[in-house]
Amino acid sequence: MTERNATDEPSYVEGAMLITTNLSIQTPPHFGFWSTVHSHGWCALPPFHVDKHRRTLTRLLDLRDGTLVHCELRDGSGHIVVNVQSHKKLVDDQREEIKASLREALRLREDLSEFYGVARRTPRYRWVHSAGAGRLLRAPTVFEDVVKMICTTNCSWALTETVVGNLTRFLGKQFAGDICSFPSADALAGVSESFMRRTIRSGYRSPYLLELAERVAGGRLDLESWRSSSLPSGDLFREVRSIKGIGDYAAGNILKLLGRYDYLGLDSWVRGKYYELHKRGRRVSDRTIERHYAPFGRWRGLFFWLEMTREWYKQKFPF
């Protein structure tokens, strides 16, 4: 089907008049909207938000010209219905930018045909294709993905939610009420380490986050080029790994969000899951886990992650 836009309609949120624009984004065959949204924890971190009752994913986008738009995504048939709210009427370029950002986040342009071919030939992964699983939700920007990944290291998920929530609340741009954007590198680079520690609660990760933001804001580090990098995965891994605060776990998972699945990105949760599924709870070395998935070649990280999270799909996403 062709992509289409509907007419602009005004509405009101907390006294502010908002313009509503309806957009539609075509999806590839066998795309699973909810399988992608719930592919990992990003959907629970602002400025993403899942509304279980309305069956929507919402996301605040900060466009290149500084315009904030609130997007509410719904699963359509062969397309995604996007309800966009903005303070001013959107022009064509802005509409296209919104659709491009959402395609990036939902990985709609990623060619997974080879991966699905392997999955269909492997009995224990035949469910993947029919579930529309395999696309891992990511942020519209690499900067946001990297910051969030650092915020997942060495802490509970509850703390990750707290820190990311504080980043958007205190350093993002306010759209309406408590709906704020993810902070830009400029905004993050402009605060002190003590503010990060006391207010953002990012603890010892604070200097790492500030150094990252300062390098990006100063133009000394181009994270966004990573998504189109021609570097071999090993070289890209080493480049990602060279950022302070990013070790093997974080780098492996950032590579997955860049479309490279050569690394497993092991943390305590997935190790425990592997022991449970394959070794009756007995611990084994990381090398043993890596050997197990080596036959899947460049898709091993994706097969590994989907096997570890298969229960989520069976339970229709319990989070």
Establish if 162 lies at the interface with DNA (CB under 7 A). yes
Q: Which of 5, 22, 153, 229 binds DNA (CB under 7 A)?
A: 153
Considering only residues 235 through 274, tell me which ones interact with DNA, judged by CB under 7 A: 243-251, 267-269, 272
Based on CB atoms, which residue is closest to DNA, 272 or 295?
Answer: 272
284 lines the binding site for DNA (CB under 7 A)? no
Of 28 and 41, CB closest to DNA: 41
Pick between residue 7 and residue 268 the one whose CB is nearest to DNA: 268
Of 158, 228, 281, 318, the residue at the interface with DNA (CB under 7 A) is 158
Q: Quick one: 158 or 294, whose CB is closer to DNA?
A: 158
Measured from the CB atom, the residue of 203 and 218 that comes closer to DNA is 203
Which of 159, 176, 187, 284 touches DNA (CB under 7 A)? Answer: 159
| Three-class secondary structure assignment of the chain | CCCCECCCEEEEECCEEEEEEEEEEECCCCCCHHHHHCCCHHHHCCCEEEECCCCEEEEEEECCCCCEEEEEEEECCCEEEEEEEECCCCCHHHHHHHHHHHHHHHCCCCCCHHHHHHHHHCHHHHHHHHHCCCCCCCCCCHHHHHHHHHCCCCCCHHHHHHHHHHHHHHHCCEEECCEECCCCHHHHHCCCHHHHHHHHCCHHHHHHHHHHHHHHHCCCCCHHHHHHCCCCHHHHHHHHHCCCCCCHHHHHHHHHHCCCCCCCCCCHHHHHHHHHHHCCCCCCCHHHHHHHHHHHHHHHHHHHHHHHCHHHHHCCCCC
Judged by CB under 7 A, does residue 156 bind DNA?
yes
Q: How far is the CB of 227 from DNA (least distance, A)?
A: 20
Nearest distance in Å: CB 210, DNA: 13
- Cβ atoms 251, 289 nearer than 8 A: no
The residue count for binding DNA (CB under 7 A) is 25
At closest approach, how far in Å is the CB of 79 from DNA? 37
Q: Which is nearer to DNA, 185 or 212 (CB)?
A: 212
> Pattern of binders to DNA over 196-215, x per CB under 7 A?
-x---x-xx---x-------
Q: How far is the CB of 160 from DNA (least distance, A)?
A: 10
Pairing of strands 179-180, 174-176: antiparallel
Residues contributing to the site for DNA (CB under 7 A): 153-156, 158-159, 162, 197, 201, 203-204, 208, 243-251, 267-269, 272
